[in-house]
């Protein structure tokens, strides 16, 4: 687990720094508030930026581990009608170790409710 100081230092040096994107489709204020609340409870994770598009929200987080392992699981438990997909893309290589660095994208798509007649 990264120390709170290192995540804070990364975002202080570059306010656009992020390791993961949470995509909420379609727009849903309840899920957006849920994500914001979970992030605010942590001292080692920050929201770098939030974008609102035509079809939903994109939330950029400083911790890939938090987004993939903790937040995705909590969302799956809390929103039973949501489909959650996770992917990652190679971003760069570490300068000193040569280790590949990835960025994650987690999609939360609400399944449509059948119309009741």
pLDDT at 60: 95
User: What is the pLDDT, as a whole number, of residue 100?
Assistant: 83
Q: What are phi and psi of 62, to 5 degrees?
A: -85, -10
Helix locations, the chain, DSSP H = 4-13, 29-40, 64-65, 72-78
pLDDT < 50 stretches in the chain? 1-2, 4-5, 117
Output the pLDDT for position 6: 58
This prediction has a pTM of 0.80
pLDDT given for residue 9 in this prediction: 57
Q: Which of 100, 82, 87 is nearest to 20 (CA)?
A: 87
Q: How many residues in total does the chain contain?
A: 117
């Amino acid at each position: 687990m990264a120390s709170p100081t290192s995540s804070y230092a990364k975002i202080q040096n570059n306010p656009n720094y992020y390791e993961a994107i949470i995509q909420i489709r379609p727009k849903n204020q309840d899920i957006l508030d849920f994500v914001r609340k979970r992030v605010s409870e942590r001292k080692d994770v920050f929201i770098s930026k939030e974008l609102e598009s035509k079809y939903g929200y994109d939330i950029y987080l400083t911790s890939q581990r938090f987004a993939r392992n903790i937040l995705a699981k909590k969302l799956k438990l809390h929103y039973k009608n949501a489909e959650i997909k996770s992917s990652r893309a190679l971003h760069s290589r570490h300068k000193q170790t040569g280790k590949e660095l990835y960025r994650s994208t987690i999609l939360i798509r609400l399944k449509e409710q059948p119309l009741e007649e």
